[in-house]
Amino acid sequence: MAKFDNKTTSEDVFEVFGSQIKGRTFVLTGAGMPSIGCQTALTLAKGSPAHIILVSRTLEKAEPVLQKIAEIDSSIKTSFVPIELSDQDSVRQGAKEILAQAPKIDVLINSAGVMAIKEYTVDKKGIEMQLSTNHVGHFLLTNLLVPGLLAAASSSGGARVVNLTSAGYLASPFRFDDYNFSGGKTYNMWLGYAQSKTANILFSYGLTKRLASRGVTSTAVHPGMNLDTVLGSHLNVEDYAEIPAVAKATTGIDWKTEEVKNLSQIAATSLIAALDPELPAKSPAYLQDGVVSPALTHATDPDSVEKLWKLSEELVGQAFEY
């Protein structure tokens, strides 16, 4: 059994699980360069996948990654599908395009996200932007892609969904009584981020509950801290210094700053979640530093799992019964 930890690299994971990639179809959101999704896609490209579909706002973001994949292995089929996750119409159109190109989806990796938007911002439907992009958009996209996941599961024995969350979830449970921050009156950028990251974990639990019997499972992954991507490029040291007080006031935890990972290390846990053949039996699960770890109750509580699923259906105006 391989031993993974906070030093594990993408190359380490590929060495152990690279054989799990060949002939499979992977869909990744948020795969612009540089990003966790980009590093994940480039590692997958080394294992002869059948098809890699990159989802991003614009082709400009994805094109360099598509070119790199072609340099690694020009025989890999690649596709780009434009989706703005905070725009539900865009998500619906993009899901149709993905299924048209990939009727069977072995692995969906929901890697896109935004963090700590300083000014209260909402999407077209009035949903706070971090919740909209990080959770609601992925909730809708994933459920619309379930036919492809089920098709893969029935033919290959399983399909999986990887939701990138963050240790930031520790700072707040989902705010069912005020998820939209009273129209901005109670908004805090870190609470908004933490709530959306808690939602990622709750969603993995809800999805696995509904689809595990049909071969589709889900895990939530905390990749670690990295300063090379654009996720936190708008933040400064003082902004990050606010997190401990927010976490202490909201959940009572003592916040611990993590060691910074490089790009290869930051994608390792996502790759483990996507490829480890033993993981479906352990799902739903929360992974950190390459291993299954316990998550706080507010992110796994069955009542909260169901409440979030129902709220998410209301926010997208569609029920998903399985």
CATH number for the domain that contains residue 184: 3.40.50.720
Q: Is residue 267 included in any domain, yes or no?
A: yes
Closest CA to 246 of 287, 195, 179: 195
pTM of the model: 0.97
What the block records as the tokens of 275 is 């490829």
List active site positions. Answer: 193
Range of the domain at 146: 10-316
- DSSP annotation of 136: I
Q: Is residue 4 included in any domain, yes or no?
A: no
What the block records as the tokens of 224 is 């670690």
Q: Is residue 5 included in any domain, yes or no?
A: no
Q: Is residue 122 included in any domain, yes or no?
A: yes
Q: What is the pLDDT along the chain (322 residues), one digit of tens a residue?
A: 578 999 999 999 999 999 999 999 999 999 888 889 999 999 999 999 999 999 999 998 899 999 999 999 999 999 999 999 999 999 999 999 999 999 999 999 999 999 989 999 999 999 999 999 999 999 999 999 999 999 999 988 899 999 999 999 999 999 999 999 999 999 999 999 999 999 999 999 999 999 999 999 999 999 998 876 767 678 778 888 898 899 999 999 999 888 899 989 999 999 999 999 999 999 999 999 999 999 999 999 999 999 999 999 999 999 999 9
Q: Is residue 192 included in any domain, yes or no?
A: yes
In this structure, are residues 8 and 221 in contact, taking their beta carbons and an 8 Å threshold?
no
> How many domains does the chain fold into?
1
Q: Is residue 322 included in any domain, yes or no?
A: no
pLDDT for 276 equals 97
Q: Is residue 193 included in any domain, yes or no?
A: yes
Q: DSSP 3-state helix, strand, coil percentages of the chain (rounded to 5)?
A: 50, 15, 35
Q: Cα separations (Å) of 143 from 56, 95, 260, 279?
A: 18, 9, 33, 21
Q: Cα separations (Å) of 58 from 31, 55, 64, 215?
A: 11, 9, 12, 32
Q: Is residue 3 included in any domain, yes or no?
A: no
Containing 22, the helix (H) or strand (E) segment is none
pLDDT for 34 equals 82
